[in-house]
Structure 1
Amino acid sequence: MSLSQKPWYGVNLASERLGAKALFANDDFFAPKERMLQDSDPVFIPGKYDDNGKWMDGWETRRKRGEGYDYCIVKLAVPGRLNKIELDTRHFTGNYAPAALVEACFSTTEPSVDTVWWPITDTIALAGNDQKLVDIEHDEVFSHIRLNIYPDGGIARLRVFGQPEVDWSTLANRSVDLLALEVGGRAIATNDEHFGTMHNLNLPGKGINMGDGWETRRRREPGNDWVILALGHRGEIDQVVIDTAFFKGNYAAACSIQVADIHDLPDSTLPAQSLYWKELLPKSELSADQEHLFADILKEVGPVTHLRVNIYPDGGISRIRVIGKPVI
């Protein structure tokens, strides 16, 4: 069974599901700007047309017949420090945007073309039916980005990876979901995610179907499956919610949780170390398609930064919530 330990670029702050919004585009004649922020992968539907032409899964402007360029202003789900930007042109072949440049700003009100925008990329050459990942080397906190495309064309998806900027001092002594995506919680590694990715576990809201959770293959050997998660901030845990929504004939039959207080260790070292982490939640039964709240049986372990969630023997979990108080 292979270990899944995927690169972590940060939270997609341009996620529609997380709350990002496409505020304005000077043109979205062929395909609306809002599609560009969808979390799902873009699709191509042969033979599908609407009143303006071929239906495309992304943002697409009309063919420009004069000087200038097209642009779209996006409000990020939460302000943050940016690491990478992905410009996805999948399924755009003869109609992709040939080049792009990304600018950003921080604003507490809705920005406009008159706002002072800071370039955070050089002009980027794009190709059709491609995914372009660009490093961002700025330490400022940004709340909005402006995607400029030259001169026109289509972008299937825009993803803006970064670290949410949370003023944790305002959350001191308050119970929050320390694992929530919007505060920087993340999945680090798992031994298996055959049917559903570990990165679904801390998505906002309830799961939308069985594919919107973490699910391992059917185990045919001794042992159990597991996932390692990092909290958005060091904290003391009061409650844990394990939600098996939509998992009925394939839910995890039981779970346990181990925890650790870790500083400055590479993610790659954690799977082996996690075998010896202290126990927070003893092995506890789970039920199908149900939200389970664990509080009184949690052990006192002090402040922690990471969790290892064990499921027995295999199966699926939709969401994990870790309610506690940040230690400032």
Structure 2
Amino acid sequence: MFDDLRRRYVDLAQPRLGSEVVYATDDFFADKARLISPEPPVFIPGKYDDNGKWMDGWESRRKRVAGHDWCVVKLGAPGEVAGFEVDTRHFTGNYPPGAQLEVCRSDEIVPDEDAAWTVVTHRLDLKGDDRAWFPIDHREPVTHVRLHIYPDGGVARLRVWGRVLPDWTKVKSGKAVDLLAVENGGRGIIANDEHYGAVANLTAPGRGVNMGDGWETRRRREPGHDWAVLELGAFGRIEEVTVDTAHFKGNYPDRCSIQASRRAHGSPEEIAQQAQAWPVLLPEVKLSADHVHVFRDELAELGPLKFVRLNIYPDGGVSRLRVVGKLAT
């Protein structure tokens, strides 16, 4: 289930998009900021701080008065939410038995009760040391999520799965933008191998911070090559492609090529099958270690495009893929 979510959506609450936990009624035992940490939660036996056992998530103190605890996540980019993942891993005797989620659209950092909060889930039953997915049907763009826990306790992670909805009216006519950037609605769909790094990292902001912050496959021991399929945030005429192998030195791909298409449909697996026959945007080119490769003149004119397939030969790691172009009118 969770792998399918990762293929179909992006986590709108990820900090590298600019998302942050801006308010919590109480985070005595565990800092609210850890609720949206990108890494999987961990448990460290014997680790304590001044307030008690250190836990990897958001945890409030035991409530001795009426009421319940809640926190607010400000999304780094407006998006359409498809559902939530509430992760209570490692919280066993201290998880909240109930939760509920609301969303709103606001220009405020911490929206108040006048912000037209919309309840998008019923009262949820949670289990300890568990991961649960709660789909919703809410088609309006949102900027904030409010997580209520009843009455108190700890949640390791909150993932807000959905699609970024960029405001293209703010892009000047004729201006080239990175159509594949996650903040512009780009996303990774599927890769044949993600042994060391996720395809979603290819669309992330900035340069990779280390080898783990990229897409890397295992060492190939059989014929063939590795590939990844990605979707642009909007139809565009591609003018420039950047393949960044930052931090990949003894494990960068020897070569790469890119195919592209205007249309694709079906499941991630079906799109991957279609991608094998897409026309070539960038013919096979040589790559170097830990280097920013920029391609312009090498690109074929294929008209407006929405999908790309990055082929790497035979295997290895790529930190970022940038696909710069102008919106198709």
State the SS of the aligned residue for 1:268: helix
Shift of 1:33: 0.7
State the SS of the aligned residue for 1:308: strand
Shift of 1:268: 3.0
8 Å CA contact 1:9–1:84 kept in 2: the answer is: no
State the SS of the aligned residue for 1:17: helix
Q: Structure 1 length as normaliser, TM-score?
A: 0.95
Q: Which residue of 1 aligns with 2:240?
A: 239
8 Å CA contact 1:180–1:204 kept in 2: the answer is: yes
AA matched with 1:90:
R
Q: Percent identity?
A: 53
Q: Which residue of 2 aligns with 1:190?
A: 191
Shift of 1:6: 6.9
Length, aligned pairs only:
325
Q: Which residue of 2 aligns with 1:165?
A: 165
8 Å CA contact 2:105–2:115 kept in 1: the answer is: no
Q: Which residue of 2 aligns with 1:267?
A: 268
8 Å CA contact 1:6–1:188 kept in 2: the answer is: no
8 Å CA contact 2:188–2:231 kept in 1: the answer is: yes
- Residue-by-residue CA offset, 1:5-38 (whole Å, 9 max, x unaligned): 8753422111112111111111111111111011
AA matched with 1:125:
D
Distance 1:206 1:5 in 2: 26
Q: Which residue of 2 aligns with 1:295?
A: 296
Correspondences of 1:197-216 after superposition (within 5 Å): 197-216=198-217
State the SS of the aligned residue for 1:40: coil
State the SS of the aligned residue for 2:15: coil
AA matched with 2:289:
A
Q: Which residue of 2 aligns with 1:319?
A: 320
Distance 2:39 2:10 in 1: 15
Mapped pair 1:99 → 2:98:
yes
State the SS of the aligned residue for 1:8: helix
Q: Which residue of 1 aligns with 2:281?
A: 280
Distance 1:306 1:173 in 2: 20
8 Å CA contact 1:11–1:163 kept in 2: the answer is: yes
8 Å CA contact 1:5–1:189 kept in 2: the answer is: no
Shift of 1:273: 2.2
Distance 2:8 2:46 in 1: 36
Distance 2:126 2:223 in 1: 48
- Residue-by-residue CA offset, 1:31-74 (whole Å, 9 max, x unaligned): 11111011111111111111100011111000001210001011
Q: Which residue of 1 aligns with 2:148?
A: 148
- Residue-by-residue CA offset, 1:234-258 (whole Å, 9 max, x unaligned): 1111111101111111100110111
8 Å CA contact 1:5–1:190 kept in 2: the answer is: no
Distance 2:161 2:4 in 1: 18
Distance 1:145 1:6 in 2: 18
Residues 318 and 190 of structure 1: CA distance in aligned 2, closer, same or farther (over 3 Å): same
Distance 2:11 2:186 in 1: 12
AA matched with 1:131:
R
Mapped pair 1:90 → 2:86:
no
State the SS of the aligned residue for 1:187: strand
Distance 2:233 2:56 in 1: 32
Q: Which residue of 2 aligns with 1:223?
A: 224
AA matched with 2:104:
C
Mapped pair 1:122 → 2:122:
yes
Mapped pair 1:58 → 2:42:
no
Shift of 1:113: 4.1
Distance 2:113 2:44 in 1: 34
- Residue-by-residue CA offset, 1:123-175 (whole Å, 9 max, x unaligned): 10101111111011111221111111100000111111111122223324221
8 Å CA contact 2:264–2:307 kept in 1: the answer is: no
AA matched with 1:42:
P
Distance 1:129 1:235 in 2: 44
- Structure 2 runs not aligned, ≥5 long: none
Distance 2:155 2:27 in 1: 11
State the SS of the aligned residue for 1:182: helix
State the SS of the aligned residue for 2:170: helix
8 Å CA contact 2:5–2:161 kept in 1: the answer is: no
Distance 1:40 1:68 in 2: 31
Distance 2:102 2:282 in 1: 46
Residues 212 and 263 of structure 1: CA distance in aligned 2, closer, same or farther (over 3 Å): closer
